[in-house]
Amino acid sequence: MASPQIRIPATAYPVERFTLPNGLRVVLSPDRSAPVVGVSVVYDVGIRSEPEGRTGFAHLFEHLMFQGSQNLEKLAHFRYVQGSGGTFNGSTHLDYTDYYEQLPSNALERALFLEADRMRSPRITEENLANQIAVVKEEIRVRVMNQPYGGFPWIKLPPVMFDTFPNAHDGYGSFTDLEAATVDNATAFFEKYYAAGNAVLSVSGDFDVAEATRLVERHFSDVPARPAPDRPDFSEPDLTAERRDSYTDERAPLPAIAAAWRVPNPITDLTGYLPYVVLAEVLTDGDASRLVERLVSRDRIATSIGGYLGFMGEPFAVRDPTALVLSAHLPPGGDVDKLLTTVDEELSRLANDGLSAEELARVQARIATHLLRDDDSVLNRALHLATYEIQRGDAGLAGELPRQLGEVTPEQVVSAAATLRPQRRAAIEVIPGGDQ
């Protein structure tokens, strides 16, 4: 008798939504269980929005947003958050940029003031721009140029898979492009993309909804109204023949390979997309997963392998086109062709022999556990609410995802595996420096 399909309930976090007259969308999710709040502002601009000749600009501008604002001198944002016992940061992604704070709940108004002030007018000066160009260049040196496997695979693989500049270029940026950036460029970028109508503010944690609404209106209502820019169409046709490339990494101690296949549009076809999220976990999540068991434990042709959706590992915060990515490190002298052939064999075995309800239930339980644990943090919850709202107009998806993933069937996962064929694959190989 077949085991029943796993039932994962939706979470019950309350979600309140409204829009200010200037176009700013607001999401509130109260949770009085601990005296902490998470505040996030997400702007609908990321690496794919950068024009040619401005590689790395979205990330550079994220840095500029911390260099003071209309009523605050440089470093004041840092002092006010940390002086309240809070933490803060920002990050740049393929399709959005976020800024966030986690603070004691009695500092909520302070966080709202800080975010509103830089949404209104960051300090874009020659001095700040030059300083942050130097900071970003040093980050590239440390994280990409002088680190083993730097940029692998999120920078190295997209140019193999994609043809258009938005999808294929290096989001960290070239030094030439960064050094060419001007104050006028930065000001134009702010005016176009950092409009209230192109952002979502979310607050999660210990607050009263009526009071939080009053504070949001107090601090954000006078931010000038500017409409969201038209979003370009970044779509590209799927591959019809395998693409392979390689490069030598002088600092890499072992060979590595990453492979990717296009997947359904995560925004417009979530039902078709979710089986690939589950499939990545079936293949690589834990010692009992199919590729870990075969490649690492049994055949020993890989020392590690991981699988995930999206080049930056963000399965539910990315637009189309995106991909299922497998990334593996091999032992000294490892054979990447043998590894890819073995991956193909395992995908064919899954497509032909099927997936048991028991194996699927185990994987779905692990996925749900990760999602639920991640959203335990009021800051993570605020970030997820904002990104789902800005990309899908549906902040409530944060509570629905565990349940929807639990409804994926064995047949859907098997069908997804059947699409991962060599002729649809892009792959990038890392050759250790000593193997030239």
Kindly report, residue by residue over 253-269, the tens digit of the pLDDT: 999 999 999 999 999 99
Q: Which of 83, 110, 3 is nearest to 362 (CA)?
A: 3
**CA distances for 193 relative to 88, 96, 98, 327, angstroms:** 22, 10, 13, 33
Do the Cβ atoms of 376 and 204 come closer than 8 Å?
A: no
Which domains are assigned to the chain?
A: 16-220 (3.30.830.10), 243-435 (3.30.830.10)
User: In terms of residues, how long is the chain?
Assistant: 436
Query: Would you state the pLDDT for residue 9?
Result: 75
Q: Band of the pLDDT at 344, cuts 50, 70, 90?
A: very high
Do the Cβ atoms of 39 and 377 come closer than 8 Å?
A: no
In sequence order, the 6+-apart residues with CB closer than 8 A to the CB of 373 are: none
Q: Is residue 41 within a helix (H) or strand (E), and if so which, with residue range?
A: strand 36-43
pLDDT digits (tens, 9 = 90+) for 64-91: 999 999 899 998 999 999 999 999 999 9
Dihedrals φ, ψ of 309, to 5°?
Answer: -100, 130
What's the CA gap between 259 and 314, in Å, rounded? 17
Is the per-residue pLDDT at 277 higher than 50? yes
In sequence order, the 6+-apart residues with CB closer than 8 A to the CB of 205 are: 29, 30, 31, 34, 36, 37, 38, 105, 378, 382
What's the CA gap between 402 and 134, in Å, rounded? 42
Q: Is residue 244 within a helix (H) or strand (E), and if so which, with residue range?
A: strand 243-249
What's the CA gap between 417 and 432, in Å, rounded? 31
Is the per-residue pLDDT at 1 higher than 90? no
Half-sphere exposure of 325 (CA within 13 A, CB side): 25
Do the Cβ atoms of 292 and 286 come closer than 8 Å?
A: yes
Q: Which of 397, 396, 398, 389 is nearest to 26 (CA)?
A: 389
127-144 b/e (C-beta count within 10 Å ≥ 16 → b): ebbeebbeebbeebeeeb
What's the CA gap between 358 and 140, in Å, rounded? 45
pLDDT digits (tens, 9 = 90+) for 157-193: 999 999 999 999 999 999 999 999 999 999 999 999 9
Quote the pTM value. 0.95
CA dihedral 361, 387, 232, 266 (to 10 degrees): 10
**CA distances for 146 relative to 56, 124, 138, 435, angstroms:** 18, 30, 10, 18
pLDDT digits (tens, 9 = 90+) for 191-242: 999 999 999 999 999 999 999 999 999 999 999 999 899 999 999 999 999 9
Across 38-67, average pLDDT: 96
Query: Would you state the pLDDT for residue 10?
Result: 74
Angle, CA of 32, 38 and 41, to the nearest 5°: 140
Across 418-429, average pLDDT: 98
Helices (H), 255-377: 270-284, 290-291, 336-353, 357-374
Burial zone of 233 (CB within 10 Å; 0-12 exposed, 13-18 middle, 19+ buried): exposed
User: Where on the phi/psi map is residue 102: left (φ > 0), alpha (ψ -120 to 50), or beta?
Assistant: beta
The distance from CA 111 to its chain's CA centroid, rounded to whole angstroms, is 23
pLDDT digits (tens, 9 = 90+) for 282-305: 999 999 999 999 999 999 999 999
- Looking at the chain, the whole-number percentage of residues with pLDDT higher than 70 is 98
Query: Would you state the pLDDT for residue 436?
Result: 43
Across 51-59, average pLDDT: 95
Is the per-residue pLDDT at 350 higher than 60? yes
Q: Which of 248, 254, 276, 251 is nearest to 264 (CA)?
A: 276
What's the CA gap between 24 and 313, in Å, rounded? 28
Intra-chain end-to-end CA distance of the chain, in Å: 56
Is the per-residue pLDDT at 129 higher than 90? yes
Is the per-residue pLDDT at 2 higher than 70? no
Mean of the per-residue pLDDT values for the chain? 95
pLDDT digits (tens, 9 = 90+) for 362-419: 999 999 999 989 989 999 999 999 999 999 999 999 889 999 999 999 999 999 999 9
Q: Band of the pLDDT at 3, cuts 50, 70, 90?
A: very low
